[in-house]
Structure 1
């Protein structure tokens, strides 16, 4: 099994690489410190599994997962993160991740999870699994919102940006000042780690926002 390890903390990443490389029949083919580097490495190294952190610079793990799965559907993404909120879990699964573990997972749990996602199965840390089952038992999977790092207002404004509205038009529609809208748009760009409006619109539409 070929594995790519992605995490922005050097000490943790190095330790994870060492631990995974010691597992039988596993070859760590590379590592990356940010989401964009992960997308490039996945394209170049063709791993079977990418172990992905979520909170990273340049490109967050959710968007990196979305791009990797889109470009290489045969590659499985196993999230390994400190973020345990429902928004993060469901955003990762919507992006195409096949597993979600918390960083408290021990070596054996990581080994089993790597094998499972490589075989096409879906895995969760035990505490998360019970919440996922409860969520779907409630019959509301459509309620999961993309971009969990955004506030509700920021997500609303991103949706309007993706519909093609200018800042002035958004301000008029939401009865906000132009300055407030500019601040929200700037915060959205920062959180999504995009360079400008066009890139934000592309990400938003990929996630289902901006529909008429």
Structure 2
């Protein structure tokens, strides 16, 4: 029996290429395509695909938020990120959001199909480049304080939440209605307060310490 697949990528030519690779095997049934997160959610809710191949960098709804909502409407679907980005902070956010696997588009066709087959069988596949970086991040996380975010202002918390959701400086600035320069300033400040080395550690720390559901006391502004 063929594995049902939903393809999610804002580039039609990429979707066509992946569909062709899947069709050749005779093992997959591509039941839908989407060029943005919202369309993907609607299709997943209607068709309940067994496997979703998803790009993270799309217009509108972020890839990380799309993953969360896909699993809400179709909890039985396996989510495999197929991304052109090798940004480890974004990969970490995607995996924490519920993606079971993370692949890179630069992989050769045969290698890609082999990994998709393994994912369809229930294996968790993380591209070695990403896996090695995530391992370093996890090993580098500091021991938590009683309230690890108590020194941050509300605005710094907002910036960290957006960062942990996979937001770039531009996206964070737009979401919070502030300048990119201000975003950079807040990131520098929160890294210093949390004793973290870089954005990657900040993302890992935020997810590890439950910031996305964090409701602490009032912060200074």
Decide: shared fold, TM above 0.5.
Answer: yes
Give the match for residue 169 of structure 1. Answer: none
Between 1 and 2, higher relative CO (CA 8 Å, sep ≥ 6) is seen in: 2
Consecutive unaligned residues in structure 2, runs of 5 or more: 149-159, 184-209, 217-221
Alpha-carbon spacing, 1:207–1:36, altered in 2? closer, same or farther (3 Å): farther
Report matched runs for 1:24-35 at 5 Å: 24-35=26-37
Task: Work out the number of aligned pairs and report it.
Answer: 170
Is the CA contact (8 Å cut-off) linking 2:67 and 2:79 kept in structure 1?
yes
- Determine whether 1:147 maps to 2:165: yes
TM-aligned CA distance change 1:26 to 1:211, over 3 Å: same
Distance 2:165 2:215 in 1: 16
Superposition RMSD in Å: 3.3
Runs of at least 5 residues in structure 1 that lack an aligned partner in the other structure: 159-180, 189-205
Show the counterpart of 2:178. 183
Alpha-carbon displacement from aligned partner over 1:126-174 (angstroms, at most 9, x marks no partner): 21122223333335698995222244xx59xx7xxxxxxxxxxxxxxxx
Aligned partner (choices 92, 99, 106) of residue 94 of structure 2: 92
Give CA deviations for 1:93-128 in whole Å, capped at 9, x if unaligned: 011001111110122222232233333322112211
1:114-125 correspondence runs (5 A): 114-125=116-127
Match of 2:212 in 1: 208
Question: After TM superposition, which residue ranges in structure 1, 4 or more long, deviate above 4 angstroms?
Answer: 139-145
**8 Å contact kept, 2:21–2:109:** yes
TM-score, normalised by the number of residues in structure 2: 0.66
C-alpha contact (below 8 Å) 1:49/1:114 kept by paired residues: no
Query: In the aligned structure 2, how far is the partner of 1:148 from the partner of 1:64?
Result: 11
1:5 corresponds to: 7
1:148-201, Cα deviation, whole Å (9 max, x unpaired):
2244xx59xx7xxxxxxxxxxxxxxxxxxxxxx74359x99xxxxxxxxxxxxx
TM-score (norm: length of structure 1): 0.68
